[in-house]
């Protein structure tokens, strides 16, 4: 066993902070530590740095700086978009539309609104590759729909959604119903995983709200951004000092904002070359793993997927056991969203694309990054066959037995409901 080698293949969970980003951030920890709300010189310098960071991010997103709100994470930005829009427009309608494979940072606030604030929600199914169509979205719209939230690229299976086409379809629906661009329903997209890989030009995408965060693009953790198109209203989640246009109170994270802007600029500059490199590695790795390990199923769209994402179900094994064995060989991977790693519930994304329960529990996600090489992947490919063979020898039918036991127990948990193929109980069916 080679315990000296490490191969990090969990960049969808977080990325290392780029050294160039650290250099840009350094002065704002110990030298330029002023509060941007203060009127004296140190405060004004901090405010200037914050404004420059906002302007830098706006250049990448092709929007006005005042259309950007700094938050503490992608999760907060998603919550702000969903809860903020829903509450601000509750007098005009209380219907929300989203998809079955969204991150829980979107699904959970939608669920909260449906359970506790009188909203109804339509959760759109996806096809076997994890895609939703513009036609599906338009068919779900109602007179009282205020928000549609469809993620740009999925964090687990890497599938890319046709966001620009969905936006055009919603705009056409508005026109047909005598509504203006500034009228509901609005389109939000979680673009955290897309950052560094896909075009973030909000004009071309046509979205009204867009979420990104620093930790997914070699920037610092603890910083996020919500793009809010001019004219879209939000109810704030945090009250206090009135920062961020009175929509997100709290002393701003100047160092984080500076670092995020630097990371985003680097990612935009290197995007084309890095996407080409990673796509070649991704396709080679998928072909090799399917050739070397029997009973492998690729999850997600075969081509319309993020360049760095490989998600496979290794049948007849437990995903968590595979991760432990890989970790013992210095390989870091994942079974799904990092935010869900504390639960043993099956991936809602894998279930949503029509895979059986045992496929969901056997799924492994490898997500590559800037430092990933073919040699790294070759090392992983050397370890996978013997690990898989050993795990299958230990418990070849354990997954099926566990699934049947869980279903037969009559459990009322969300896990049992997922196993039984039920839709969320808070969803409004059309």
For the cut 80, the answer to whether the pLDDT of residue 429 exceeds it is: no
Q: At 16, is the secondary structure helix, strand, or coil?
A: coil
For residue 227, the model assigns a pLDDT of: 99
pLDDT in tens, 33-86: 999 999 999 999 999 999 999 999 999 999 999 999 999 999 999 999 999 999
For residue 345, the model assigns a pLDDT of: 77
Q: Please identify every residue annotated as catalytic.
A: 339
- Distance in angstroms (rounded) separating the CA atoms of residues 412 and 392: 30
Mean pLDDT of the chain: 92
For the cut 80, the answer to whether the pLDDT of residue 93 exceeds it is: yes
For the cut 90, the answer to whether the pLDDT of residue 9 exceeds it is: yes
For residue 410, the model assigns a pLDDT of: 46
pLDDT in tens, 248-306: 999 999 999 999 999 999 999 999 999 999 999 999 999 999 999 999 999 999 999 99
Which residues does 194 contact at the CB level (< 8 Å), separation at least 6?
152, 153, 160, 200, 306
- List, as one string, the DSSP characters of 326-375: HHHTTEE-BSS-GGGTT--SPPHHHHHTT--HHHHHTEEEEE--TT--HH
Domains of the chain (ranges, CATH numbers): 7-14+272-419 (3.90.1150.10), 19-266 (3.40.640.10)
The residue ranges of DSSP E strands in 177-251, in sequence order, are 186-190, 209-213, 224-228
Closest to 365 (Cα-Cα) out of 103, 157, 154: 157
Which helix (H) or strand (E) covers residue 22, if one does?
helix 19-25
Strand partners, 121: 96
For residue 4, the model assigns a pLDDT of: 76
- How would residue 414 be classed by pLDDT, with cut points 50, 70 and 90? very low
Report the alpha-carbon angle 156-159-162, nearest 5: 140
CA 295 to chain centre: 28
pLDDT in tens, 160-179: 999 999 999 999 999 999 99
For the cut 50, the answer to whether the pLDDT of residue 418 exceeds it is: no
For the cut 90, the answer to whether the pLDDT of residue 415 exceeds it is: no
State the pairing for strand pair 68-71/224-228: antiparallel
Whether 161 contacts 190, CB under 8 Å: no
pLDDT in tens, 201-232: 999 999 999 999 999 999 999 999 999 999 99
Peptide bond preceding 185 in cis form (omega within 30 of 0): yes
- Distance in angstroms (rounded) separating the CA atoms of residues 231 and 229: 6
pLDDT in tens, 19-48: 999 999 999 999 999 999 999 999 999 999
Which residues does 151 contact at the CB level (< 8 Å), separation at least 6?
99, 101, 102, 103, 106, 161, 189, 190, 191, 193
Which helix (H) or strand (E) covers residue 294, if one does?
none
């Amino acid at each position: 066993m080679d315990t000296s080698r490490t191969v990090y293949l969990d960049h969808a969970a977080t990325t290392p902070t780029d050294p160039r980003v650290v250099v840009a951030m350094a002065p704002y920890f110990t030298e330029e530590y002023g509060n941007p709300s203060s009127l004296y010189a140190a405060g004004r310098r901090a405010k200037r740095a914050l404004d420059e960071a906002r302007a830098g991010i706006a250049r990448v997103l092709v929007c006005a700086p005042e259309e950007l709100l700094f938050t503490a994470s992608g999760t907060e930005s998603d919550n702000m978009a969903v809860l903020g829009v829903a509450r601000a427009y509750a007098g005009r309608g209380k219907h929300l539309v989203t998809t079955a494979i969204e991150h829980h940072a979107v699904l959970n606030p939608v669920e909260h609104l449906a359970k506790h604030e009188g909203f109804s929600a339509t959760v759109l199914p996806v096809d076997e590759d994890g895609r939703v169509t513009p036609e599906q979205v338009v068919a779900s719209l109602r007179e009282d729909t205020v928000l549609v939230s469809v993620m740009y690229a999925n964090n687990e299976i890497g599938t890319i959604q046709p966001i620009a086409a969905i936006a055009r379809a919603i705009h056409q629906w508005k026109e047909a119903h005598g509504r203006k661009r500034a009228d509901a329903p609005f389109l939000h997209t979680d673009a955290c995983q897309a950052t560094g890989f896909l075009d973030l030009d909000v004009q071309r995408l046509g979205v009204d709200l867009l979420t990104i965060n620093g930790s997914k693009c070699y920037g610092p953790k603890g910083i996020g951004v919500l793009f809010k198109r001019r004219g879209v209203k939000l109810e704030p989640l945090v009250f206090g000092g009135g920062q961020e246009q009175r929509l997100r109170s709290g002393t701003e994270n100047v160092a984080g904002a500076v670092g995020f802007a630097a990371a985003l600029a680097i990612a935009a500059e290197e995007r084309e070359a890095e996407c080409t490199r990673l796509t070649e590695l991704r396709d080679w790795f998928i072909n090799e793993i399917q050739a070397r390990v029997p009973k492998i199923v690729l999850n997600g769209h075969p081509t319309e997927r993020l360049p760095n994402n490989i998600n496979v179900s290794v049948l007849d094994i437990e995903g968590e056991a595979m991760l432990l064995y890989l970790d013992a060989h210095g390989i870091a991977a994942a079974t799904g969203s990092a935010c869900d790693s504390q639960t043993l519930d099956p991936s809602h994304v894998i279930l949503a694309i029509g895979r059986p329960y045992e496929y969901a529990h056997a799924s492994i996600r490898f997500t590559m990054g800037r430092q990933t090489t073919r040699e790294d992947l070759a090392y992983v490919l050397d370890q996978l066959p013997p690990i898989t063979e050993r795990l299958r020898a230990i418990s070849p039918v354990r997954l099926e037995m566990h699934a049947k036991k869980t279903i037969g127990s009559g459990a009322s948990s969300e896990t049992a409901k997922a196993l039984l193929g039920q839709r969320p109980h808070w969803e409004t069916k059309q």
